[in-house]
Structure 1
Amino acid sequence: MVENTVPRERLLQRTATRRIPHDARPLMGHPEIWRSLQTDSLKISLRRLPNAMARVETEIEHRRWAAGLHCDPTLLEPLSDDAVAKRQVIHDAAPVDAEPVPPVPASKLTLGETYEQYDRSDAGVVSPNAGGL
């Protein structure tokens, strides 16, 4: 017998498992549903777990409804308070504590003229301690 090399804790972090109720097992074709949470991080998997389980519950109820069995109609309706559907995408957001950086005015100097100005300034003087520069 080949032993599972993945520790049980890590396996549970990455998947959501739901045993299917007995009345829905013939409709689903298996006794359990496993869904990947698409992460190895325990913190992220714990945040993703409620959404994954809600989707599984909806899938089970939809199969019951399609077979004409008793089901909970609220699980078949789209969520009106779905945060994912209402989220706003923020493009190029600056960190909250950061101050806006003023734009740098465009220079009319060429690269060669800029280098000549630098070379003539004190910044272009190489120190004797510069190590062979």
Structure 2
Amino acid sequence: MDTKTALDAFAALSQETRLRVFRLLVEAGFDGLPAGDIARDLGVPHNTMSSHLAVLARAGLVASRKDGRSVIYAANFDGVRALIAFLLQDCCRGRPEVCAPLLDAALGPIAALCCPPSPRTEA
């Protein structure tokens, strides 16, 4: 990851609603959530939510997929890993063993970091 990409990610997360969206999508895991559910859960108008989701997507922090007429958004865990790796690059002046536990937790398999996604029921 280059500096500009990292700055874009930090800028995207530096706004309260977008940070709340991102945290909600991390909680949702790989299944993600429909855009309408995200807007409803956070009490944000749909058109405003679309703008926030677009900013997060351009920053590489969320990804979307079509599911029928819905657009499902999910955290882009590869993008998050890249951002964390950028932050910890050249850790501890050549003594990576000092940061190894943090790196293992941050960059290890995502399945080891979070609970498996729960099945969503459609209303």
Indicate whether the TM-score tops 0.5. no
Question: Which has the larger Rg?
Answer: 1
Q: TM-score normalised to the size of structure 1?
A: 0.28
* Larger RCO (CA within 8 A; separation ≥ 6): 2
Q: TM-score normalised to the size of structure 2?
A: 0.29
